[in-house]
Amino acid sequence: MGSGQPVAVFGAYGHTGRFVTAELAARGYVPVPSGRNAHALEELALGQGRKSRVASVDDPASLDRALAGTVAVINCAGPFASTTGPVIEAALRAEIPYLDVAAELEANLDTFGHYRERAREDGAVIVPAMAFFGGLGDLLVTAAMGDWTRADEAHIAYALSSWHPTAGTRLSGAVSRERRGDHRLRYRGGRWERRTDAAPALEWTFPEPVGRRPVIGEFTMADVVTVPQHLAIPDVTTYMSAEAARDVVSPDTQALTAADGSGRSDQTFLVDAVVRSGDTERRATASGQDIYAVTAPLVAEALDRVLTGRIRSLGVVPAGEIFDAPDFLRALEPHITLDLHPGRADA
């Protein structure tokens, strides 16, 4: 697959970045670790037998050096509100594809808003939110849509057995809350709404063996940004299992612990995507282990397809628009369990 091609990984020493560099190496690429923390980079490079490149988003020349000679860059460094713009600019200067694993709503909205037309005009490829939150849900909704050209609603429900956030997740969440203030965001009627009321407490019937669970409705994630960018669906809503929602915001939630030699935790997930048109519903689901670890095959598979020309469009493009969604998801089956057969959903 990679045939020794060098790929810059900005933020390679972070929790997700380490999974991404390992997955790239397993696919035959040569990860080029980069970031601002010279000590962390040195430790990572020594452990992996690779050379690293120190770079900072405040120093464009350092980013240019970090990307020099590489075929693409994957941005794993949060908070993405600070890193996406500078790393995208460096990728555009280097004329290489850019992918990131950003789950921050505001960062993803900025990427589409600031770069979509420019990247299309330049013939560039920018794939934001190519991660568990964003990419996976977007692909599932696109696969569930099938031959429909429009739908009335899309719902993406997440059942996580637990959610022990990384330091990066906590920092990104803090930055998002600072930018958003006292408001929360939801997508209704084809537009964004800023709400001050509490998100609703609901129940969602997941496929077995999860079953009916309490969820927080309008727990707006990156999928709500990506889906309306390419699918004619005016109402897009995400839901989070209530226990996981409490975990991620509690300062007392313990740090992640590895459950196997790869570094994966024992966290399990099920993502249930339902699209509705009139009285007809279609569903696609995916389940697996560790939301951070599964991001690595997601973004690495995306990279493979970009570099081999298996894409459908240029510019700033979400996963379901740029890739063949069912084919992409089936390629992930060593890492996730899929059910792509449309059927009735009971929500």
Which of 84, 92, 73, 66 has its CA nearest to residue 314? 92
What's the pLDDT at 347?
42
- CA of residue 8 relative to chain centroid, distance: 18
What's the pLDDT at 341?
66
Rounded to the nearest 10 degrees, how much is the dihedral formed by the CA atoms of 56, 61, 65, 66? 20
Which of 295, 272, 15, 14 has its CA nearest to residue 127? 295
Which of 168, 68, 85 has its CA nearest to residue 128? 85
CA atoms within 13 A of residue 83's CA, in its CB half-sphere:
29
What's the pLDDT at 118?
95
At 188, the amino acid letter reads: R
Could you give the CA distance from residue 209 to residue 82 in angstroms, rounded to a whole number?
Answer: 40
In the chain, beta strands by DSSP E: 6-10, 30-35, 53-54, 73-75, 98-100, 125-127, 153-160, 184-188, 191-195, 201-205, 212-216, 235-241, 268-277, 280-289, 315-316, 336-339
Is the distance from CB of 284 to CB of 89 less than 8 angstroms? no
Rounded to the nearest 10 degrees, how much is the dihedral formed by the CA atoms of 260, 265, 267, 273? -100
What SS3 state is found at 46?
A: helix
Is the distance from CB of 99 to CB of 119 less than 8 angstroms? no
The owner of tokens 């962390």 is 40
Is the distance from CB of 256 to CB of 15 less than 8 angstroms? yes
Which of 200, 199, 211 has its CA nearest to residue 347? 211
pLDDT in tens, the chain (347 residues): 678 999 999 999 999 999 999 999 999 999 999 999 988 998 887 666 678 999 999 999 999 999 999 999 999 999 999 999 999 999 999 999 999 999 999 999 999 999 999 999 999 999 999 999 999 999 999 999 999 999 999 999 999 999 999 988 988 888 777 888 889 999 999 999 999 999 999 999 999 999 999 999 999 999 999 999 999 999 999 999 999 999 998 988 988 888 888 899 999 999 999 999 999 999 999 999 999 999 999 999 999 999 999 999 999 999 999 999 999 999 999 999 999 865 444 44
